Structure 1
Amino acid sequence: MNSKDLLTELATRPLLCDGAMGTQLIAAGLAPGDCGMLWCVEKPDAVEAVHRRYRDAGCDLITTNSFGGCTTNLERHSLTGHADELNRAAAQAARRAVGDNAWVLADIGPFGGFLEPLGEMTAAELFKLFVQQAAALKAGGADAALIETMTDPGEAAVAVKAAKQAADWPVIATYAFDRGDGTNYRTMMGTTIEVAMKEAIAAGADVVGANCGTAMNLEDYARLAEQMVRAAGKTPVIIQPNAGAPQNVGGKDIYPATPAEMAALVPTLLNAGVRIIGGCCGTSPDHLRAMGETLRKQS
């Protein structure tokens, strides 16, 4: 699809983004802790199968398997020097899976550290790394960039600017918020919704919002959405909730929300003014199918 058409389409109707990738790959045999991006070159059929299931579930936006594709993250898996290859392969896998039947989002997650003065990474150094990742994803066929799960508005701004430098395409930026007292949502770095939205928009983000989060239940995402739409002003908002707050069962985190429960959240998000709805941790193609059916009935 033409990346320019994404924002045009978004102005006419709400869109459905996909859900979790990592848990789907683990279900297909990926060992927890292993580098899921390697499957883009070693087992591309498995990655493409996940993308196709989400597209078959009705998702308009399909996210590349490249969340940890910054060089700093790949170094932890002894994959220094493979960033271009893996990110390009991630975008190619998504494009092969969905063809022109969905927009492919170039997934760019946090670099895994802290910017100066809390860490040793400078903004200029990180900018180059994010440009490298975004450019490789664009070369692989991605239509737009998704900067996600950010907690530091400084890092988010660097990532947005880098994505804009790498290509002429729409850029979406989302943060992960903590529940706190259930009313005053902040990121791990203490950033408020207002500051998070302001910094991302000032950096050039075309769409802003939230994904994931800590101890967030479905009611929290409803309240978060209302506050976020107010803070974003005229900028479209995306919300990608987890399947409820995780519960530890037998040493494993289980996300309890059913597809029906996730679908029941959709009208509330739409009424709040959210324009893109998707899923994050614990969600599956079944969740997104149910959410998409409700979205289409409501819009």
Structure 2
Amino acid sequence: ITMAKGDQCKKGLLELLKEGPVVGDGSMCMTLEKRGYCRAGPWTPEAVLLYPDAVKQLLREYMRAGADVLQTPCFYCSDGMFKKGSKSGEPISYTTDAINEAACRIAHEISKEGKDVLVCGGLSPVLSYFREKNMEKARAEFDSQLDVFIKYKVDFVLAEFFAYIEELEICIDVMKRSKMPIACTMRIGPLGDSNGVSVEECAVRMARTGADLIGINCLYDFDTCLKTLKRMRDALDKEGLKTHLICQPLGWRCPEVEHTLIGYLDLPETPLGSLEPRQVTRFEVHAFARAAYDLGVRYIGGCCGMEPHHIRAIAQELAPERKRNPPVEDMCPPLGYLQLSGLSNIKKKDNKQYWIEQKPGSGRPFSPALSSTEG
């Protein structure tokens, strides 16, 4: 990998965090599935090899929306996951190295179209821990994932979607070999990790690994994430730990799964398309970004269901703290151009309070508030 002109002067993650909040990117596998480039269920990232132009376009949209970071699109990239996701007897034609390398090349290519856009190498949980509790084998798999990110000189590394604090601690210990800034997230809600370790203990143990950013991603919606983040922040404050917080939540409303260990995966409509009625509005994202920032979260992005327009809402909401608007300047501020409409009923909606207080309907007569498989 050769550095593009000016890359030597690019601000790093820790420098950006000192200046203000950092905006992450959003949904990859889930959005690629909607666009016809990924399988629902396994969520493995072979699209970087099969449909690289589609992956590049989605990353470009996140960057255009205002993301400071593009994550390598290789979530759940491990040989064990590919074997699990293949049909019975079907040969596995993808390897972790091949996909991670393609993901790195794609993320670097698109990041160079922007200014000061960082590339984050994402490490995923491994089946050797989940199924075998084989610590040495798990460590070797994390080493294998990390090697590619070191080779391709990403700007920082992120361990994401971990259900077990013990596995995350192993992963972060391996990640230290990179000598890069380290971020980590767990897919936990109020019940804590999948071994019953509390939110508070998870937060403290995450911080004590020495990671630069700790927090949560996926599985739960805005309200649940804010409750969990507050408990994490309180636990860190109690122990005198000053680690930055990161949050990348779902882009759907799913309050009924708050007290489950697998969040939206417990919904009867997951994963085949019936989640769309739960989609958050961009102004709900504005409100979440402000509430998360006020809680002390300094890296805010999105996970499944968080589309480019949602990431733009984060960047717009935090523009005063970041001292810049998203790249799409003709769409900022988000309301001013409503005055240019030829329709008076649109012109009068040119105020933020109208949109913040709006309670949108689903458009479905007698639509239930919560899901059910019954007719």
Q: TM-score when scaled to structure 2?
A: 0.71
Which residue number corresponds to residue 205 of structure 1? Answer: 211
Q: Which amino acid aligns with 1:225?
A: L
Q: Counterparts in 2 of 1:226-241, with a 5 A limit?
A: 226-232=230-236, 233-241=241-249
Give 1:35 shift: 5.8
Q: Counterparts in 2 of 1:52-71, with a 5 A limit?
A: 52-71=60-79
2:102 counterpart of 1:89: yes
2:82 counterpart of 1:74: yes
Give 1:127 shift: 0.7
What are structure 1's unaligned runs of at least 5 residues?
Answer: 179-183
Bigger mean CA offset, 192-201 vs 128-137? 192-201
Q: Which amino acid aligns with 2:231?
A: Q
Conservation of the 8 A alpha-carbon contact between 1:177 and 1:187: yes
Structure 1 segments (4+ residues) deviating >6 Å: none
Q: Counterparts in 2 of 1:1-299, with a 5 A limit?
A: 5-30=12-37, 31-33=39-41, 36-76=44-84, 77=86, 78-79=91-92, 82-99=95-112, 101=115, 102-112=117-127, 114-115=129-130, 119-165=131-177, 167-178=178-189, 184-213=190-219, 216-232=220-236, 233-243=241-251, 244-245=253-254, 252-254=274-276, 255-298=278-321
Tell me how far apart the structure 1 counterparts of residues 52 and 199 of structure 2 sit (CA, whole Å). 37
Conservation of the 8 A alpha-carbon contact between 1:88 and 1:138: no
Structure label with greater radius of gyration: 2
Q: Which amino acid aligns with 1:177?
A: I
Which residue number corresponds to residue 181 of structure 1? Answer: none
Tell me how far apart the structure 1 counterparts of residues 195 and 61 of structure 2 sit (CA, whole Å). 35
SS in structure 2 at match of 1:145: strand
Change (3 A) 1:251 1:66: closer
Conservation of the 8 A alpha-carbon contact between 2:21 and 2:321: no
Give 1:203 shift: 2.7
Q: Which amino acid aligns with 1:189?
A: N
Tell me how far apart the structure 2 counterparts of residues 256 and 189 of structure 1 sit (CA, whole Å). 30
Tell me how far apart the structure 2 counterparts of residues 11 and 79 of structure 1 sit (CA, whole Å). 44
The alignment covers a number of residue pairs equal to: 288
Q: TM-score when scaled to structure 1?
A: 0.88
What are structure 2's unaligned runs of at least 5 residues?
Answer: 1-6, 255-263, 323-375
Q: Tell me the C-alpha RMSD between the 2 structures.
A: 2.3
Conservation of the 8 A alpha-carbon contact between 1:19 and 1:284: yes
Tell me how far apart the structure 1 counterparts of residues 224 and 45 of structure 2 sit (CA, whole Å). 31
Tell me how far apart the structure 1 counterparts of residues 145 and 282 of structure 2 sit (CA, whole Å). 33
Change (3 A) 1:29 1:251: closer
